[in-house]
């Protein structure tokens, strides 16, 4: 997974936290829920990034073992 995607997904998570906090501070339940949803979506994307990285690393390890 590219570093740009990882940064983008982390920024989405932070944005969601800001929205949730703003919703808490202003007692705006819609904004609070929007922030929580944004965080959840970002967390799913970050989990996908981690899986992709793990698969890439495993693939490279197998390729490295074949060269022995």
The tokens for 52 are 């992709």
All residues at 6 or more sequence positions from 39 whose CB lies less than 8 Å from its CB, including other chains: 12, 13, 16, 17, 20
pLDDT of residue 13: 97
Q: How many angstroms separate the Cα of 32 from the Cα of each of 13, 29, 50? A: 13, 5, 27
Q: Is the pLDDT of residue 68 over 60?
A: no
pLDDT of residue 6: 92
**pTM across the whole model:** 0.79
Q: What is the mean pLDDT of residues 49-61?
A: 93
The tokens for 1 are 């997974």
Q: 15-43, pLDDT tens digit by residue?
A: 999 999 999 999 999 999 999 999 999 99
């Amino acid at each position: 997974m590219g570093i740009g995607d990882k940064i983008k997904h982390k920024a989405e998570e932070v944005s969601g936290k800001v929205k949730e906090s703003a919703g808490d501070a202003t007692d705006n339940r819609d904004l609070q829920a929007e922030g929580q949803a944004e965080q959840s979506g970002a967390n799913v994307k970050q989990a996908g990034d981690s899986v992709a990285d793990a698969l890439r690393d495993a693939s490279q390890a197998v390729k490295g073992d074949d060269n022995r």
